[in-house]
Amino acid sequence: MSHTVLRLVVIAGFVFLYAPIVSLVIYSFNESRLVTVWSGFSTKWYGELLRDPQILGAAWISLKVAFLAACLATVLGTLAATALVRHGRFRGQTLLGGLVTAPLVMPEVIIGLSLLLLFVALDNALGWPGGRGLSTIVIAHATFGTAFAVVVIQARMVALDRSVEEAAQDLGARPLRVFFDVTLPGLAPALVAAWLLAFTLSLDDVVIASFVASPGSTTLPMVIFSKVRLGVSPEVNALATLVIATVSILALFSAWLSARRRGAGSGLSG
Amino acid sequence: MKRLVALVPVAWLGLFFLVPFLVLLKISFSEPAIAQPPYLPLLDWADGILTIALNLGNYIFLTEDPLYLLSYLSSVKIAAISTVLTLLLGYPMAYVIARAPEHRRGLLLMLVILPFWTSFLLRVYAWIGLLKANGIVNNALLAVGVIDQPLVMLQTDFAVYLGIVYTYLPFMILPLYATLSKLDADLLDASADLGARPGTTFLTVTLPLSLPGVVAGSMLVFIPAVGEYIIPALLGGPGTLMIGSVLWNEFFLNRDWPVAAAVAIVMVLVLALPIALLRRVQAREGERP
């Protein structure tokens, strides 16, 4: 293939990636309820969106769930990455390696159904978690968030200079002290990136939440999904534009963080 | 201390990822019932007698109704075709990014990853507006005069392929980029110096060396695509058979939890080989410096 053809394919690829997103944003300012038939510039759908109690309530639930799940996923991800990168060979390493890779690719319907069945079985046997709701969604999201967090944190940990940690050890710092004073600050950009990734993934999940949520804990993506199953909705376009704006800012921020000390990144951290 | 570090994530993922599969397996052998929860226990202890009722009925049921077999086959077909299409688009993109000047690579990679951070659901939704009868693509084509009648694109298998390629493209490009950027440029020069044409060099040097990336990227697309639910639900038509939708309907519409569990177990078995393949490629990549 000549270079011109290659270049055209790449340009076409990027147009393909971004055209749908751009179309969402443009048509969110369309006055018409028909969404894709342009009838004039208007910001009225943003007003409608902010007055919709169902969407606002669901957004609040989603933010709470995503915050808690992202915190849990970052802590668990840091522990798992430390064990995988720093502890050499240990019993259960293959098990842990498999446990952090499998949720990355496992179809969501399987994760959702199996977690729900676990919660029901636990409820019957132990009376915990006492029905479905916020806590079951947080647990589910923290579980797959951990898998993604490990990828991001592991990449950074492999690249970290071990000699600084060894120097701290030689100077008499205990392992815990070394971890908090040396390792953790070095990992900081990856921890932020991992937290943000787990947060956005949680904020985006429909399938798993549908299985483990209760009628009283409907998340934002579940509301959006039920709306868009009926076709396009100008309110959803407005919401999409707000999400795209927020995500772009957060992603740029985390990319800037991880690019600050390291060249072009690898993995999902950017 | 050292043990605790590994123990906490192993315990969490074990309890909330591994144990659920055992529960899933158990429920797939239980008998459906009109009860809360809607299945009968496998083990029953009464009058000092332990009865184990292992019900194979759910699996037999899957073989009796052709809907299930057809859905598995159709899911694998749709996922396989989408994977090939994603590879055909993703490979040249990863290749060009890996060959781009160092200072531009970061930006290009970031442009690939950015959509991945944007909501998956909203990105699939965007295609409804583009593809529907009075949607953006049809309106544009009608205005230019290429067509007189709107094309039927939404609610077809074509829309499902498009949706999968679109949403999973970053998963293909990233592992491909990872192997292509590690490729030794001297090998390509050597091949050219020995008289190989660019096409020959690509087929005999670049492609074989990037095979781990091809396998990893393809599996990262294929495995979740087989069980995809959102894309066929929003973009597919009544004729689009996918096993993720079948499982969803068994659970949410028919409320038949045991059959839904059996559908899931068979799906895991179908995906076991691709998952093992992915693990092998990733483990090997991990060993290389």
Q: What's the CA gap between A59 and A65, in Å, rounded?
A: 10
The tens digit of pLDDT for each residue in A39-87 reads 889 888 999 899 999 999 999 999 999 999 999 999 999 999 999 888 7
Distance CA A204, CA B121 (A): 7
Closest to B110 (Cα-Cα) out of A159, A243, A149, A266: A266
Optimal mutation site among A117, A158, A176, A195, interface B, most CBs of chain B within 10 A: A117
- In this structure, the answer to whether residues B223 and B283 fall within a common structural domain is yes
Return the pLDDT at A4: 85
The three-class DSSP label of residue A145 is helix
| Rounded Cα gap, residues A267 and B10, in angstroms | 23
Comparison of pLDDT for B286 and A241, the residue scoring more:
A241
Overall domain count for chain A: 2
Structural domains in chain B (count): 2
Q: pLDDT at position A66, please?
A: 96
- CA distance readout (Å), A211 to A108, A268, B264: 10, 27, 14
Check pLDDT > 60 for residue A21.
yes
B213 & B93 share domain: yes
Q: Indicate if B123 and B180 belong to the same structural domain.
A: yes
Model confidence at B281: pLDDT above 90: no
* Spatial separation of the C-alpha atoms in residues B204 and B194, rounded to whole Å: 13
**Choice between A130 and B248, residue whose per-residue pLDDT is larger:** B248
Determine the Cα–Cα distance for residues A124 and A142; give it in Å rounded to an integer.
Answer: 23
A49 assigned to some structural domain: no
The confidence band for A261, taking pLDDT boundaries of 50, 70 and 90, is: low
- Does residue A114 share a domain with residue A11? no
ipTM of predicted complex: 0.90
Tell me the pLDDT band of A166, cut-offs 50, 70 and 90. Answer: confident
B51 with B67, same domain: the answer is: no
Encoded tokens for B287: 């060993």
For residue range B120-171, list pLDDT tens digits in order: 999 999 999 999 888 888 888 998 988 889 999 999 999 999 999 999 999 9
pLDDT at B263 over 90: yes
Instruction: State the DSSP H helix or E strand holding residue A244, giving kind and residue range, or none if neither.
Output: helix A234-261
B51 & B162 share domain: no
Domain end, chosen from B55, B73, B91, is at B55
Q: Residue A178: what pLDDT?
A: 87
Read off the CATH number of the domain in which A228 is found. Answer: 1.10.3720.10
What CATH number corresponds to the domain at position B164? Answer: 1.10.3720.10
Range name among A14-28, A196-210, B46-60, B142-156 with the lowest pLDDT average: B46-60
Its domain, for residue B18, covers 1-55
State the Cα–Cα distance between residues B111 and B170, nearest whole angstrom: 10
Domain assignment present for residue A47? The answer is: no
Please tell me whether residues A95 and A214 are part of one structural domain. Answer: yes
Which residues on B lie below 8 Å from A200 (Cβ)?
A: 117, 119
Residues in chain B with CB shorter than 8 Å from the CB of A193 are none
Q: Residue B252 has what pLDDT?
A: 94
Domain that holds residue A141: 54-269
Cβ <8 Å between B132 and A36 = yes
- Is pLDDT above 60 for A268? no
Residues of B in contact with A13 (CB under 8 A): 89-90, 92-93, 169
Q: Please indicate, yes or no, whether residues A195 and A62 belong to a single structural domain of this protein.
A: yes
Contact (CB<8Å) B166/A109: no
Q: Are A23 and B130 in contact (CB under 8 A)?
A: yes
